[in-house]
């Protein structure tokens, strides 16, 4: 069993927490997420052109790149995280260009070496899988794909083919941040996805509060929270770890006891 | 490799690839839309009534065919090859951009879309989009970097007069690529009713193909006009390249004429030796941005860098994927021209021909000036005059130290 599949096999829904690498004291922030009870960590790779992200994560990308964060820094952050937390699954999330710049094989090998379990690439759909998928699979890294409200039943098998770890359901047609999907639409979508998927289904985009997270955890295998955490990093700087730990603990409590 | 290719006009393949370039690198939310758009475009292409409607609007609304003009005094001044211009600056709205906007809005209406969005840099594509939206009564939102909103005030006012909403984009450097990011973000959140009119032959498949097809009217007309006026094809085609839509529109109908050489002219800004230029092909590396794989200005980590050019229409850090392929296949040559050279080309055309060109084709004119004298006087150069210079007179005055 991989670290990722273990995280979804605890007999309760999993909490997946996202922050952007290089934004604030990333090591301390990541430790706070783990201490708060996050089951899976998503570490955002900063990019100059985050086309699928709303203002909160855009700002985090700008802060990170402004501080001089490089791809090697992100990989080093992952590697140090792995040394401190041998059992917590770590997923890199980002955009295609920084992942393929030195060749997908380079990226996959470096990520593997840093103890990364999975990769989410926003702008490589299944149709262009050759640019990244084979390299990741050769290293045994899960390629986690996104499904959205526009992904219909006819297309779902294409999305699922070659994806592993979990399926990330983007609950709103939109960007990361404040829009929220109605819970009954999420429920229907998750039921539809689970009819096709043999991997766990986690739901994200617009999930901000423990109350929302609990509602979603009633129907999904996992809940992803990003922008709300990233905003805390932006607002509180060096004080962010305590705030992150507090929100993560409340989210974890809500998600873990939802069913 | 060149010898093995029977035709240069069969691209892209069924997956939208031009060799290793092009493709569909978009978020999953957009993927089903892109596939729908492709289906709709295939159906439109096969429907003679679509082509008729397009041709009719180009003739009676845009004012096509645009003239093919022998620039006699410029030819004399340069001393060498004959210089001819395709006069796309005489189109309604003053540039080639309108050709594509007519095609895309017809496609949008065919697909039952009720709102239009677009990105714009200098504002030419924004004005052309606002124009066709007014013509067909569709609401229109234009995303424009805040920096460009400030430098291109007259075009912002034009768009507003035409009824468009102009949204200033403050993210990143607040220029064209950021406007495109914001348009994509908006599109993802309004997928059901909104059509995105992309302004250049780039973005996810099928955009590079359909923009090229709509702009190919330039090359089809020019080819027929040249044959009828001179009885032969030109020796060299020259066009400026930002995203590359006017150039691919001129080049594509000639790609299988082996005797016709082609030259794309990128913006070298302050020079290719520094990083203040917008020459993606000559100074960039292949990568993935805005839905396609192509040459990009980027650093060693794949972060996109900001282009610079005196011409706001050329300072985009990418290039249409078909140009990336034409460069690699060797069919088209690419060069670059600095801000200063473009400024000289601009003034040269004003004085020798009584035509005030936009700064974009001024790059092509500068390249022509460089090459014409090296060619015999019975050789023919055909350059695309893709836009007029009214919008640029303030920039030019500023560079020449003139107070207006």
Give the tens place of pLDDT for each residue, A150-196: 999 999 999 999 999 999 999 998 899 878 888 999 999 999 999 99
Task: Give me the total of CB pairs closer than 8 Å, taking one residue from chain A and one from chain B.
Answer: 114
In degrees, rounded to 5, the angle at the alpha carbon of residue B349 between the alpha carbons of residues B345 and B350 is 115
Angle, helices B359-372/B339-353, rounded to nearest 10 degrees? 80
CA distance A35 to chain B (A): 32
A-chain residues near B24 (CB < 8 A) = 125, 127-128
pLDDT(B1) > 50: no
**pLDDT at position B131:** 98
Cβ–Cβ under 8 Å, residues B352 and B231: no
Q: Which residue of B has its CA nearest to A73?
A: B301
Cβ–Cβ under 8 Å, residues B310 and B343: yes
- Domain A3-256 classified CATH 3.20.20.70? yes
Least confident of A238-247, B42-51, B116-125, B307-316: B307-316
**pLDDT at position B4:** 59
| Residue B256: burial class (beta carbons within 10 Å; 0-12, 13-18, 19+) | middle
Cβ–Cβ under 8 Å, residues B159 and B166: yes
**pLDDT at position B174:** 85
Tell me: the pLDDT tens digits for B276-333? Answer: 999 999 999 999 999 999 999 999 999 999 889 999 888 899 999 999 999 999 999 9
Output the average pLDDT for chain B. 96
A175 DSSP 8-state letter: -
What burial letters (b/e) apply to A207-226, b meaning 16+ CB within 10 Å? Answer: bbebebbbbbbebbbbbbbb
Candidates A60, A150, A162, partner chain B, best to mutate (most B CBs within 10 A): A150
pLDDT(B71) > 70: yes
Q: Which residue of A has its CA nearest to B288?
A: A97
Nearest to A51 among B33, B185, B298 (CB): B185
pLDDT(B2) > 60: no
From chain B residues 264-293, the ones with a CB under 8 A of any chain A CB are 287-291, 293
Closest to B343 (Cα-Cα) out of B237, B251, B270: B270
Q: Which residue of A has its CA nearest to B180?
A: A51
pLDDT(B257) > 70: yes
Helix ranges (H only) for chain A are: 3-7, 26-36, 55-66, 71-84, 96-100, 104-113, 133-138, 156-160, 183-196, 210-217, 227-236, 240-256
Contact B300 A101 (CB under 8 A): yes
Tell me: the pLDDT tens digits for A71-108? Answer: 999 999 999 999 999 999 999 999 999 999 999 999 99
A-chain residues near B288 (CB < 8 A) = 95-97, 100, 123-124, 131
- For residue B51, give every residue at least 6 positions away whose Cβ sits within 8 Å of its Cβ, in sequence order, or none: none
Give the distance, in angstroms, between the CA of residue B250 and the centroid of all CA atoms in the same chain. Answer: 10
Nearest to A52 among B27, B32, B33 (CB): B27
**pLDDT at position B251:** 98
Measured between CB atoms, does A88 come within 8 Å of chain B? Answer: no
Active site residue A53: yes
End-to-end CA distance of chain B: 54
pLDDT(B112) > 50: yes
Candidates B301, B305, B316, partner chain A, best to mutate (most A CBs within 10 A): B301
The residue from A23, A42, A117, A221 that is catalytic is A42
Closest to B397 (Cα-Cα) out of B389, B218, A248: B389
Cβ–Cβ under 8 Å, residues B342 and B357: no
Measured between CB atoms, does A217 come within 8 Å of chain B? Answer: no
| Distances in whole angstroms, Cα of residue B327 to Cα of each of A148, A254, B235, B331, B363 | 37, 56, 18, 7, 19
Measured between CB atoms, does A65 come within 8 Å of chain B? Answer: yes
End-to-end CA distance of chain A: 24
Tell me: the pLDDT tens digits for A3-37? Answer: 999 999 999 999 999 999 999 999 999 999 999 99
From chain A residues 143-202, the ones with a CB under 8 A of any chain B CB are 145-152, 155, 159, 170, 172-175, 179
A-chain residues near B30 (CB < 8 A) = 150
- Residue given tokens 């021909």 in the structure block: B353
> What CA–CA distance (Å, rounded) separates A113 from B238?
49
Closest to B386 (Cα-Cα) out of B366, B345, B350, B357: B357
A-chain residues near B25 (CB < 8 A) = 96, 123-125, 128
A-chain residues near B178 (CB < 8 A) = 49
In degrees, rounded to 5, the angle at the alpha carbon of residue B358 between the alpha carbons of residues B148 and B276 is 55
From chain B residues 173-212, the ones with a CB under 8 A of any chain A CB are 177-178, 181, 184-185, 188-189, 191
B-chain residues near A152 (CB < 8 A) = 32
The residue from A23, A31, A39, A53 that is catalytic is A53
Contact B27 A152 (CB under 8 A): no
Nearest to B302 among A53, A62, A98 (CB): A98
Q: Which residue of B has its CA nearest to A171?
A: B29
**pLDDT at position B283:** 95
- For residue B107, give every residue at least 6 positions away whose Cβ sits within 8 Å of its Cβ, in sequence order, or none: B37, B40, B41, B44, B195, B210
- φ/ψ (deg, to 5) at A156: -55, -45
ipTM of the complex: 0.96
Contact B185 A179 (CB under 8 A): no
Active site residue A142: no
Closest to B180 (Cα-Cα) out of B318, B11, B52, B341: B318
- φ/ψ (deg, to 5) at B105: -70, -35
Measured between CB atoms, does B171 come within 8 Å of chain A? Answer: yes
**pLDDT at position B171:** 85
> What CA–CA distance (Å, rounded) separates B23 from A127?
9
pLDDT level of residue A115 (50, 70, 90 thresholds): very high
B-chain residues near A123 (CB < 8 A) = 25-27, 288, 291
> What CA–CA distance (Å, rounded) separates A67 from A230?
16
């Amino acid at each position: 069993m991989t670290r990722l599949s273990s995280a979804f096999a605890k007999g309760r829904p999993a909490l997946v927490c996202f922050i952007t690498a290089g934004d604030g004291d990333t090591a301390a922030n990541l430790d706070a997420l783990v201490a708060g009870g996050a089951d899976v960590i998503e570490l955002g790779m900063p990019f100059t052109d985050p086309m699928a992200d709303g203002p909160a994560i855009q700002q985090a990308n700008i802060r990170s790149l402004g501080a001089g964060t490089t791809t090697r820094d992100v990989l080093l952050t992952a590697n140090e995280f792995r040394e401190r937390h041998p059992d917590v699954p770590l997923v890199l999330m980002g955009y295609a260009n920084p992942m393929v710049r030195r060749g997908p094989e380079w990226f996959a090998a470096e990520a593997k070496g840093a103890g990364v379990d999975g990769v989410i690439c926003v702008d490589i759909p299944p149709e262009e899988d050759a640019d990244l998928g084979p390299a990741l699979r050769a290293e045994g890294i899960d390629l986690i794909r996104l499904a959205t409200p526009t992904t219909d039943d006819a297309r779902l098998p294409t999305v699922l083919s070659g994806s592993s770890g979990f399926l990330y359901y983007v609950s709103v047609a939109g960007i990361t941040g404040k829009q929220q999907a109605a819970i009954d639409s999420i429920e229907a979508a998750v039921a539809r996805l689970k009819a096709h998927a043999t991997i766990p289904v986690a739901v994200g985009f617009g999930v901000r509060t423990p109350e929302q997270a609990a509602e979603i955890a009633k129907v999904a295998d996992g809940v992803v929270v990003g922008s709300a955490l990233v905003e805390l990093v932006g607002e509180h700087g060096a004080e962010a770890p305590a705030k992150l730990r507090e929100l993560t603990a409340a989210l974890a409590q809500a998600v873990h006891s939802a069913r | 490799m060149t010898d093995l290719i029977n035709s240069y006009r069969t691209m892209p393949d069924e997956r939208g690839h031009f060799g290793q370039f092009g493709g569909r690198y978009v978020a999953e939310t957009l993927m089903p839309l892109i596939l729908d758009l492709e289906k709709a475009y295939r159906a439109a292409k096969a429907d003679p009534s679509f082509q008729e409607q397009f041709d009719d609007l180009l003739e009676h609304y845009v004012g096509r065919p645009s003239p093919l003009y022998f620039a006699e005094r410029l030819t004399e001044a340069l001393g060498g090859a004959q210089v001819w211009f395709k006069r796309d600056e005489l189109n309604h709205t003053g540039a080639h951009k309108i050709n594509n906007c007519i095609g895309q809005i017809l496609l949008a209406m065919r697909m039952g879309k009720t709102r239009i969005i677009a990105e714009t840099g200098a504002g030419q594509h924004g004005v052309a989009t606002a124009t066709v939206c007014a013509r067909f009564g569709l609401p229109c939102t234009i995303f424009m970097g805040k920096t460009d909103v400030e430098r291109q005030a007259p075009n912002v006012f034009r768009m507003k007069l035409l009824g468009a909403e102009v949204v200033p984009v403050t993210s990143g450097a607040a220029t064209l690529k950021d406007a495109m990011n914001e348009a994509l973000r908006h599109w993802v959140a309004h997928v059901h009713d909104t059509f995105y009119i992309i302004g250049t032959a780039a973005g996810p498949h099928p955009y590079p193909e359909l923009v090229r097809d709509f702009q190919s009217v330039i090359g089809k007309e020019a080819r027929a006009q040249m044959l009828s006026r001179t009885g032969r094809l030109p020796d060299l085609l020259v066009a400026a390249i930002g995203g590359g839509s006017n150039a691919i529109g001129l080049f594509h109908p000639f790609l299988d004429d082996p005797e016709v050489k082609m030259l794309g002219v990128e913006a070298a800004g302050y020079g290719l030796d520094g990083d203040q230029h917008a020459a993606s092909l000559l100074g960039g590396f292949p990568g993935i941005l805005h839905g396609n794989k192509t040459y990009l200005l980027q650093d060693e980590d794949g972060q996109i860098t900001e282009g610079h050019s005196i011409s706001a229409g050329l300072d985009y850090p990418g290039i249409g994927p078909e140009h990336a392929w034409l460069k690699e296949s060797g069919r088209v040559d690419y060069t670059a021209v600095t801000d200063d050279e473009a400024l000289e080309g601009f003034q040269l055309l004003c004085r020798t021909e009584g035509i005030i060109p936009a700064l974009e084709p001024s790059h092509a004119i500068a390249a022509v000036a460089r090459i014409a004298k090296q060619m015999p006087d019975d050789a023919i150069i055909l350059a695309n005059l893709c836009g007029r210079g009214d919008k640029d007179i303030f920039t030019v005055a500023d560079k020449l130290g003139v107070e207006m």
